[in-house]
Amino acid sequence: MLQDSLYNKKSSITKNRTKNSILSKLLVLPIGVIICMYLTIIMLPIAAMIKYSGIDNIVATLYEKDNISSIILTLYTSSISLLMTFVFGTAIAFYLKSIKNNNLSKLLSILIELPIVLPPAAVGIALLLTFGSNGLIGSLLDQVGINIVFTPSAVILAQFFVSSAFYVKVLTNSINDIPKEIFEVTYVLGAGRVETIFRVIIPMLKRAIISGLILSFIRSIGEFGATLMFAGNILNETRTIPLQVYTYMQTDIKMATSFATILYILSFLLLFSARVFLKDEGEVL
């Protein structure tokens, strides 16, 4: 009886393996087609842009005075936005970790991540109603002669608003993955909470911090809708790379395509640099 039972089990396992093998072979073709379609959708547009623009035109756009101005402004405002993201984002990520009330923590997380899914027009209107001359904060600033709308400061605020959530999300997830025992051991050894964060936890999270900051930086560079509504499209003042592309679209589509390709290439290089810098030892790109 025992031998018959074992034989039946082996036979059942063999049949299941055969069925799984046949099913796997049948799925190879459709899965392959899906993968090829996905890669085509992702890669073909940039290839089309490069072909339409031509390498010579792409290089030539870098010598245009207005383009250089928009690149410098974009990198300048995105860098300040990145610094703000690191300071405020790091603080809020660790604060979320310290909250004991799970419902409150979830609510704050939703509010922080909301800019990721908000339409750019909604973000621009919200910023105008907050920092405009008649806004909640803008009216107070206007009394002391400080104007934010249609200035580089507006660009920075728009970039920070839409990009900081990426960093907070990455860092929060990484903090939650740290075993509680590490915190408890440092407390037992006499380290306070702040000392533990700065001397133990942050060095452990170096990879997450850098990757989150790079994602936020790339998002800042590509910010368009909220910037257009809140900061305007003023040459040498608020016209970032995406706004320069938008301006060219109204007069010279080839120049717009060439400059947009530069934005693609810049984003790719930043992501590639991040992968090279953050790769594990022995990992091959």
> Nearest CA to 114 among 162, 150, 81?
162
- Residues of the chain above pLDDT 90, percent: 27
Supply the mean pLDDT for the chain. 83
First vs last C-alpha separation in the chain: 55
Lowest mean pLDDT segment, chosen from 44-58, 137-151, 245-259, 269-283: 269-283
Residue 37 belongs to a domain: no
What is the mean pLDDT of the segment spanning 258-278? Answer: 83
pLDDT digits (tens, 9 = 90+) for 23-63: 566 667 778 788 888 888 888 888 888 888 888 888 888 88
| CATH number (domain holding residue 270) | 1.10.3720.10
Residue 140 belongs to a domain: yes
Residue 92 belongs to a domain: yes
Please tell me the total count of domains within the chain: 1
pLDDT digits (tens, 9 = 90+) for 186-234: 776 666 777 777 777 788 888 889 889 998 999 999 999 899 999 989 9
Residue 16 belongs to a domain: no
Residue 5 belongs to a domain: no
HEC sequence for 254-267: HHHHHHHHHHHHHH
Does residue 76 register a pLDDT over 60? yes
Q: Residue 271: what pLDDT?
A: 84
Q: Residue 143: what pLDDT?
A: 86
Q: Residue 13: what pLDDT?
A: 56
Q: Whole-angstrom Cα distance, residue 123 to residue 285?
A: 37
Residue 59 belongs to a domain: no
Give the range of the structural domain holding residue 88, as residue numbers without chain letter: 65-278
Provide, for the chain, the percentages of residues in helix, strand and coil under a 3-state DSSP scheme, each rounded to the nearest 5. Answer: 80, 0, 20
Residue 31 belongs to a domain: no
pTM for this predicted structure:
0.82
Q: Residue 40: what pLDDT?
A: 87
Residue 40 belongs to a domain: no
Q: Residue 139: what pLDDT?
A: 86
Identify the band that residue 20 occupies on the pLDDT scale cut at 50, 70 and 90: low
